[in-house]
Structure 1
């Protein structure tokens, strides 16, 4: 049975406890599931289980990083017959210690990193490796206790504090959402635009495995930019059925925000009858020229990107197989 894991990271006084307490007080996050709550640090703020909406929350404390082991986690899972796991992780511990100890059936559903805006730059300067460790896989980064005036202040190079925060996050993680909290019911999502990781002005635009989701979104949002461009990338080949022998659909499964919304994101490819010799679902690399034109696959949607392939080769699966932003 798959066990969802909700992982909350950050340093002391970063706001983790307050956020988790409030989440467990509501039915949206706590409908009474049997929940193992792993406490890996003790902050100034305490939990109040009497206020939880659901009462099946079982606290277990892990005192030392060295105590984390698969044997321990499996025993706690069996002890409480849990349906899910919440972890308040110690900011001074490496995340790999937890991931190495996770039982096979545990799956990280969400990882959130919290930081106190007043001390974040100091932590990053003095413990950069630990900060990077918490940012690199976080889906959401929350900066608490922000002050608008201070966030807008600029340094001698003209860079605002908010932009410094943004850049620190993006060096570690291009995919995470960033949220600034200024007070109760006063939050702001980071909307700073980042350059694409690939250069669309190169003679051949090479798309790495971990760039697929960003590329797919970009080619659909800005089609004309790619008209006439040469691409080289990896994906899965879909053929058979009503698809002509000289055509196939090329794409990958993409997860936008959660497991439930994984969808196949593909484009029409034209090649030769050799396309029919590949197995449905084969991983391939393609070299192709993009043309924006009508195609029956895009019926009702107007013109779309069609890849005119010059080369199609079998390939090893992409890493990871499901593309994410």
Structure 2
């Protein structure tokens, strides 16, 4: 009996101590927690609470009946998608384009960061950095207007230049908007132009955090600028690159609806290379008004993406524990 009482007292003391420690931690770092609070609140309201809607993926959702009274249909919504003739095409396009975006984005972001870090003039460096970052703040809708002005069959700049140089005659213009093979490259170029500069900020910050004494020691030993980049800078960027790659792979099953829909629209001639899961879902939602199927496909994207993140993180942790997310 005495042993039980003593154990209960010990547990209560531990709980009070933990509570006191937690409260004192908040009190000690009050302003830091205050800064974090809006972000946590955002995720709770807009990310976690909407997860209740996952149940719609297994229902024949009716707006009038709502989530909790709509008819349960099991996996029929998933069956509809996986038995359609488009699912393989849109899945392949989504993964293929995102892999290319990820690889090229990583390469050019690091390249821009390296170039900016090597510029000695602070004034010129700031101007250059502003120029390469600016495209990130231009909307895809505005970009689509520029693209149309460049690639239009009748009045496009590219066809006009080709005709002026004598490479093509009138009536032989390249119809970019009916040739799906050209658009993989076009989308990659646009993605790099718009996002690589902004993506270089993180790598530039990582380069700025490298101890300058390492470079000084290397120069004393006779290392060239190229050797400093390849032997010091790039290895120091590995952890950052792996972390960002893991985050990027998490969204590999999510197509960039805003980009693709703004640039090519709902153009059936280009479905072979530009139709991704998100554009397919948007099109089906407009045509069928089926929220259940859209939710089911969204769940499929999220689950597969989560699995890929865990697998990628496992191999990253095995190779370099510092590069893993968890």
The TM tier, using the shorter chain, reads under 0.3
User: With structure 1 as the length reference, what TM-score do the two structures score?
Assistant: 0.19
Q: Which has the higher contact order (CA 8 A, sep 6+)?
A: 2
Query: Normalized per residue, which structure has more helix?
Result: 2
Query: Normalized per residue, which structure has more strand?
Result: 1
